[in-house]
């Protein structure tokens, strides 16, 4: 899976990253969360006992989540899906390989994702890809002396604890945490296989083959032996290679790791050669960084399913003196499954939905959990109460959505008097996840769309927060991301050829120029664009062999 950074930050080679090992605690039951009002999140989890290191190693996951087992003939296990954040931040806080690797596995295992509610869009803590998760780490957390190694539990009070060999060290962020109202102190994470180092690969592969996300922590050592440690690094593991002629109990059975690396500045996997060193009873990457990289830990995170069928609704209306809240529907409590609904609002979380009477826009993030995080659903909902002297802006209307060539689309909407700006939000997965931008214009070109997807758009007018409240979202408008379908009829044929002909040999300075027909996005309508039109001639736009321009 290919991703593209959205910020112009330069890659940074990471040489020294200290390692501390995180102690994890189980998530609380619904009963343990019951409280009279919002509480600091950290305190709710502080006293929970730690699980046994290997507890639940082969916890079954939902059908389809596990990958097929490797075949002896192939000598390779690789499920085929991967995520690859390449670091592009700059500044003194350079040691963020842990953030890139965590972003990869959180995206792969479905943590950090959220569902949108009709009329609402996710806020910044809800993510649509691994780069958005990584951005959140960069924006909200800092490495204090290179620590903060695999710190999964981000607490609402802005700190998280990392356990060293003899003491706790606190690493401070800016109050960020992935899921509002909950964190991830235990999502079936098992760390630091210090004992039986010859079995470290068999443990890791057990997780990998169950669909877990796996991160490798390796240490840099001098003089080719694991005696003098000078730092460390983290990469994400997606598969492995092995020698089918050997017994799996033989440490030399495992020969390589298929990984993505945040420091290599390219997107894609690499296979790093692994060798077992009997003198030190450790594995090392013999062809990576001059053989200085010795394997110390694997960190594994359980895949979580998306909880389907859940919906949440808010309120929008004038002040009437009554309490208004959010409602959640679609949770089936008739069976043996246990469900917990958590409401994050006003700086804390409760199991009771909040109620508001005061005018204003009140935001609540609803998190629904099945069986202690076997499945999860999360979405923001607003309760908007207009008071005396306050008015809510009317919603804009999306007037047009057109291809802008390549993987771009231009959206135009109606203007709203007295609006201070507009927020446009779009989704490429039927409203499961959204991205947003703000602008003071009534037209915007969205870039970086995915060919073959259908983009879904909605817009709202932004108020001043005092006399004028932000509008509700507009009705959604969709358009398939396919720059070859010039007339938007779902078929490549004479209609598309006619439009291309009308703009033939034009550029932005030409009278007949139309950016919708610049299929390859090179600023000139000509043979390059015709190449794609002819390659897809008489195809339907949902054809599996459609040829798209190179983005």
Q: Is residue 12 part of a domain?
A: no
Assess whether pLDDT exceeds 60 at residue 38. no
How do residues 196-225 score in pLDDT, each as one tens digit?
A: 667 778 888 888 998 888 888 888 888 678
More confident residue, 191 or 57: 191
More confident residue, 234 or 429: 234
pLDDT at 121: 60
pLDDT mean over 389-407: 91
Q: Could you give the CA distance from residue 354 to residue 367 in angstroms, rounded to a whole number?
A: 14
Q: Is residue 35 part of a domain?
A: no
Question: Do residues 78 and 191 both lie within one domain?
Answer: yes
How do residues 456-471 score in pLDDT, each as one tens digit?
A: 999 999 998 778 888 8
Question: Do residues 342 and 275 both lie within one domain?
Answer: no
Assess whether pLDDT exceeds 80 at residue 148. no
Q: How confident is the model at residue 89 (pLDDT cuts 50, 70, 90)?
A: low
Instruction: Tell me the three-class secondary structure of 335-387, residue by residue.
Output: CCCCEEEEEEECCEEECCCCCECCCEEEEEEEEEEECCCCEEEEEEEEEEEEC
pLDDT mean over 323-339: 91
Overall number of domains in the chain: 4
Q: Is residue 24 part of a domain?
A: no
Question: Do residues 206 and 230 both lie within one domain?
Answer: yes
Question: Do residues 409 and 504 both lie within one domain?
Answer: no
Question: Do residues 473 and 510 both lie within one domain?
Answer: no
pLDDT at 215: 87
In this structure, what CATH number is given to the domain that contains residue 349?
2.60.40
Mean pLDDT of the chain: 74
Q: Is residue 34 part of a domain?
A: no
Assess whether pLDDT exceeds 50 at residue 11. no
Which of 265, 283, 301 is a domain's end point?
301
Q: Is residue 29 part of a domain?
A: no
Mark out the alpha helices in 35-76 (DSSP H runs): 41-45
Q: Is residue 519 part of a domain?
A: yes
Phi-psi label, residue 224: left if phi above 0, alpha if psi -120 to 50, beta otherwise? left
Q: How confident is the model at residue 286 (pLDDT cuts 50, 70, 90)?
A: confident
How do residues 506-544 score in pLDDT, each as one tens digit?
A: 999 999 999 899 998 889 999 999 999 999 999 998 887
Q: Distance of alpha carbon 393 from its chain centroid, rounded?
A: 32
pLDDT at 29: 33
Which of 439, 456, 480 is a domain's end point?
480
Domain hosting 357: range is 307-388
Q: Could you give the CA distance from residue 289 to residue 97 in angstroms, rounded to a whole number?
A: 16
Which of 480, 507, 526 is a domain's end point?
480
Tokens of 518: 């610049």
Cβ atoms 337, 370 nearer than 8 A: yes
More confident residue, 115 or 299: 299
How do residues 180-202 score in pLDDT, each as one tens digit?
A: 444 444 333 444 445 566 777 88
Assess whether pLDDT exceeds 60 at residue 165. no
Question: Do residues 296 and 317 both lie within one domain?
Answer: no
Q: Is residue 15 part of a domain?
A: no
60-64, 88-92, 250-254, 285-289: which has the highest mean pLDDT?
250-254
Q: Could you give the CA distance from residue 19 to residue 26 in angstroms, rounded to a whole number?
A: 22
């Amino acid at each position: 899976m290919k991703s593209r950074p959205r910020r112009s930050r330069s890659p940074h080679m990471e040489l020294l990253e200290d390692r501390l090992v995180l102690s994890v605690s189980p998530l609380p039951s619904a009963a343990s969360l019951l409280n009279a009002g919002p509480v600091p999140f950290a305190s709710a989890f502080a006293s929970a006992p730690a699980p046994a290191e290997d507890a639940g190693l082969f916890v079954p996951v939902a059908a389809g989540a596990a990958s097929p087992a490797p075949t002896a003939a192939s000598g390779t296990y690789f499920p085929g899906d991967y995520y690859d954040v390449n670091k592009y931040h700059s500044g003194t806080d350079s040691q963020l390989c842990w953030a890139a690797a965590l972003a990869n596995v959180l995206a792969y295992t479905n943590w950090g994702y959220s569902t949108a509610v009709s009329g609402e869009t996710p806020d910044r803590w809800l993510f649509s890809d691994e780069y958005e998760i990584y951005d959140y780490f960069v924006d909200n957390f800092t490495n204090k002396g290179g620590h903060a190694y695999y710190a999964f539990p981000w607490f609402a009070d802005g700190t998280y604890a990392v356990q060293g060999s003899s003491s706790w060290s606190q690493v401070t962020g800016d109050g960020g945490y992935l899921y509002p109202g909950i964190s991830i102190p235990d999502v079936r994470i098992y760390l630091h296989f210090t004992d039986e180092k010859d079995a470290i690969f068999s443990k890791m592969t057990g997780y990998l083959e169950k669909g877990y996300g796996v991160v490798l922590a390796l240490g840099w050592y001098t003089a080719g032996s694991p005696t003098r440690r000078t730092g460390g690094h983290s990469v994400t593991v997606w598969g492995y290679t092995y020698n089918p002629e050997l017994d799996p109990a033989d440490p030399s059975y495992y020969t390589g790791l298929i990984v993505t690396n945040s420091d290599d500045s390219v997107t894609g996997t690499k296979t790093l050669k692994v060798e077992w060193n009997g003198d030190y009873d450790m594995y090392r990457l013999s062809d990576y960084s001059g053989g200085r990289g010795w394997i110390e830990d694997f960190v594994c995170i359980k895949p979580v399913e998306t909880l389907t069928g859940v919906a949440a609704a808010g309120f929008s209306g004038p002040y009437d003196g009554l309490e208004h809240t959010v409602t959640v529907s679609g949770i089936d409590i008739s069976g043996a499954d246990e469900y917990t609904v958590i409401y994050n609002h006003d700086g804390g979380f409760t199991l009771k939905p909040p109620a508001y009477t005061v005018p204003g826009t009140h935001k609540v993030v609803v998190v629904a959990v099945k069986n202690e995080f076997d499945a999860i659903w999360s979405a923001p909902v607003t309760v908007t109460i207009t008071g005396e002297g306050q008015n809510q802006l009317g919603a804009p209307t999306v007037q047009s959505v057109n291809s802008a060539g390549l993987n771009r689309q231009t959206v135009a909407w109606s203007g709203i008097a007295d609006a201070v700006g507009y927020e446009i939000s779009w989704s490429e997965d039927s409203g499961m996840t959204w991205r947003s931008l703000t602008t003071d214009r009534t037209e915007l070109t969205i870039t970086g769309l995915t060919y073959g997807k259908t983009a879904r758009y909605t817009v709202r007018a932004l108020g001043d927060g005092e006399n004028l409240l932000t509008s509700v979202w507009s009705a959604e408008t969709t358009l398939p991301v396919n720059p070859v379908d010039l007339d938007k009829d779902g078929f490549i044929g004479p209609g598309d050829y006619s439009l291309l002909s009308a703009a033939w040999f034009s550029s932005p300075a030409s009278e007949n120029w139309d950016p919708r027909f610049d299929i390859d996005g090179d600023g000139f309508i000509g043979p390059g664009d015709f190449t794609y039109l002819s390659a897809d001639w008489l195809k339907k736009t949902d054809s599996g062999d459609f040829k798209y321009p190179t983005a």
